[in-house]
Amino acid sequence: MENRIYLDHAATTPMDKEVFEYIAPYYTEFFGNADSPHAVGRKAMGAVDLARDTVAELICAKASEVYFTSGGTEADNWAILGGARAKRKEGKTQVIVSAIEHHAALFAAETLEKEGFEVVYLPVNSKGEVELCELEKVLSQNTALVAMMTANNETGVLQPVQEASRMAHAYDALFFTDAVQAAPYMEINVQEWGVDMLSFSGHKFYGPKGCGVLYIKSGVAVEKLVGGGEQERGLRGGTLNVPSVVALAKAYEKTVQGLSQSNEKLKALSALFMQEISVLDGVTRNGNSENALPSILNLRFAGVENTAFLYNMDLQGVCLAAGSACASASVKPSHVLTAMGLSEAQAKESVRFSLGRRNTEEEIKKAARLTVETVRRLRGD
């Protein structure tokens, strides 16, 4: 959109133009159903196989461990519901999830609670980090699954996934991490991280909406969530969205290739923004900035209600969010910020600026200037 400054990349990103052009023939020419046994189907399956190989290589997995889904929400639900239900067969009935998980994961946890699981919500400290001693306190031989996101979608704060995974395994529990926000900014190595399951989503890294990945380590039993056809090795029914799968792999490959360059740029732009708004008093950054993605600035402007700020910024051409896009229409304060100890009123003074690789210095300076002016105006200064 012309003249708009888009600072909501944690909600979604525009599709990379090269990726868009690359997949166009998969809608028109190579349109086959990847499960059809004839030449047109085989062509489609060939493209899916290649995409699966690409994704697998990039996350250090085997191709047979990569499952395509309809996005991060499905992947999160599948991992948590499918993993816990499978573990229940061993008699385990406790599930541990961090209190700051995405609503997709929290919904799955609530569903398990209704099924009779005991669900423990792990607290975070004021910096937005889960403390491992809290995990140690609640892990037991009854723990079926631990879910801890790699990076939080509202604050960008990174979580101690590798250590938590090791701790869960000591109790023979499954470990799942939602890497939807992290995938665009860090290299994923499922072997090094030691996770059993990991999810990510195409539209966070300039790929397609409605297409995601669930990695399931080979040998890990997970019940299926979406049944029907025998697609995805019998574990996830539904005709594969071939163009999106191809686009996801292409966009992810490009993202990983450009990772260090884009992260450097994002760090510089974030620093520039903070510098430019430093003339304002009463600004607090939510979350540990030393341990966060380079793209997200969650800022609290004391005395300024975020809904009024967002509305005013939108009118001036700057697209921002209060937190998770899925919850942005709701008036509820962020569960992430309140878990960090902010009061409801403080949470409602907080705004998420999420930068992207296409943002320019000029845009950041202009957004900062408008932020300063808008905060002052709303404060009546």
Residue (77 or 262) nearer to ligand PLP, CB: 77
Q: Binding pattern to ligand PLP, positions 310-329, x when CB under 6 A?
A: ---------------x----
Q: Choose which of 181, 241, 359, 371 interacts with ligand PLP (CB under 6 A).
A: 181
Binding residue count for ligand PLP, defined by CB under 6 A:
14
Minimum CB separation from ligand PLP for residue 198, in Å? 11
CA distances from 160 to 137, 143, 163, 172, 195 (A): 16, 18, 6, 18, 12
> What is the C-alpha to C-alpha distance for residues 22 and 44, in angstroms, rounded to an integer?
14
> What is the C-alpha to C-alpha distance for residues 172 and 74, in angstroms, rounded to an integer?
25
Q: Which stretch binds ligand PLP (CB under 6 A): 66-74, 244-252, 261-269, 333-341?
A: 66-74
Q: Choose which of 178, 232, 349, 363 interacts with ligand PLP (CB under 6 A).
A: 178
When asked if residue 153 is in the footprint of ligand PLP (CB under 6 A), the reply is yes
Contacts of 249 (CB under 8 A, 6+ apart): 50, 51, 52, 54, 55
Minimum CB separation from ligand PLP for residue 352, in Å? 11
Considering Cα of 357, then 269, then 127, then 322, what sign does the dihedral take? negative
Minimum CB separation from ligand PLP for residue 365, in Å? 27
Q: Choose which of 13, 98, 155, 201 interacts with ligand PLP (CB under 6 A).
A: 201
When asked if residue 180 is in the footprint of ligand PLP (CB under 6 A), the reply is yes
The answer to whether 214 touches 199, Cβ cutoff 8 Å, is: yes
When asked if residue 69 is in the footprint of ligand PLP (CB under 6 A), the reply is no
Nearest of 371, 355, 368, 265 to residue 309 by alpha carbon: 371
Q: Is 326 known to be catalytic? A: yes
Pairing of strands 5-6, 143-147: unpaired
Minimum CB separation from ligand PLP for residue 181, in Å? 5
Q: Is 112 helix (H, G, I), strand (E, B) or coil?
A: helix
When asked if residue 357 is in the footprint of ligand PLP (CB under 6 A), the reply is no
When asked if residue 104 is in the footprint of ligand PLP (CB under 6 A), the reply is yes
When asked if residue 255 is in the footprint of ligand PLP (CB under 6 A), the reply is no
Distance of CA 368 to the CA centre of its chain: 26
DSSP labels for 231-250? TTTTTS-S---HHHHHHHHH
* Interface ranges with ligand PLP (CB under 6 A): 71-73, 76, 102, 104, 149, 153, 178, 180-181, 201, 212, 325
